[in-house]
Amino acid sequence: MDKKEPDSLSKRVRGKTIGIAFGAGIVVGILVAIVWQAKISNPAVCKMDSSPPGAASKIQDLQYIVQKDSLNAGAWIELGNLFYDTRRSEEAIDAYAHALKIKPDNPDVLTDMGVMYRNEKMFPQAIECFEKALTIDPKHRLARYNKGAVLLNDLLDRNGAIAEWEMLLKVDSKAVSADGQSIAALLAHLKTMQNKGIK
């Protein structure tokens, strides 16, 4: 039996079908990538709830309390801490600001406020909060660590970070970073880079 050669029209239709299918696959892939990127970059789209259990009702209760008693520093601090824990930086900053108007000498609140400013990429304000905390308590380990972290990672001031972390090690020789690395080891690495002229 003779094998029939497909005619050129049939070849062109198959070629166009493959081309359309390929193009459609690319479009679908792009759309999936766009939706995925939106989910991971926009917490409102991505419904991952990292809130502590009962945070929403606690926040409502505390908002009611501070509405009735705006001079309740403890309630403002607790409200700020809940906003901190639920990654609502702007609201945490506002609550901490209210608490500090009532009790301005709280280095823990100033440090937490500085962390929230860092989350908002307001680095000079973060540094200012850490410095105020350190003026009140020069041995405040978290303020010292966070100031060094902002200097190093956000303001690209390696010398400033080294100075902060050297002071931290005088207070706590076993201090560790947020991810558990030894500050002494980090400091040694920074100094090695500095000595080698690595930026």
Query: What structural domains and CATH numbers belong to the chain?
Result: 53-104 (1.25.40.10), 105-199 (1.25.40.10)
pLDDT value at position 199? 75
122-152 tens-digit pLDDT: 999 999 999 999 999 999 999 999 999 999 9
The pLDDT of residue 93: 98
Q: What is the CA radius of gyration of the chain?
A: 27
Q: In the prediction, which pLDDT does 50 show?
A: 58
Collect the ranges in the chain with pLDDT lower than 50: 27-29, 31-49
What was the pLDDT predicted at 38?
38
Q: Tens digits of per-residue pLDDT, 89-114?
A: 999 999 999 999 999 999 999 999 99
Question: Is-contact 110 100, C-beta < 8 A?
Answer: yes
Question: What SS3 state is found at 81?
Answer: helix
Question: Token pair for residue 92?
Answer: 């945490």
The number of beta carbons lying within 10 Å of the beta carbon of residue 89 is 19
User: Rounded CA gap, 65 and 134, in Å?
Assistant: 30
Q: Is 7 exposed, middle or buried (0-12, 13-18, 19+ CB in 10 A)?
A: exposed
Q: What percentage of the chain has pLDDT greater than the value 90?
A: 66
What pLDDT score was predicted for residue 128? Answer: 98
Structural contact between residues 141 and 170, judged by C-beta atoms closer than 8 angstroms? no
Question: Which run of H or E residues covers position 102?
Answer: helix 89-102
pTM: 0.72
Rounded-to-integer distance, Cα 25 and Cα 74, Å: 57
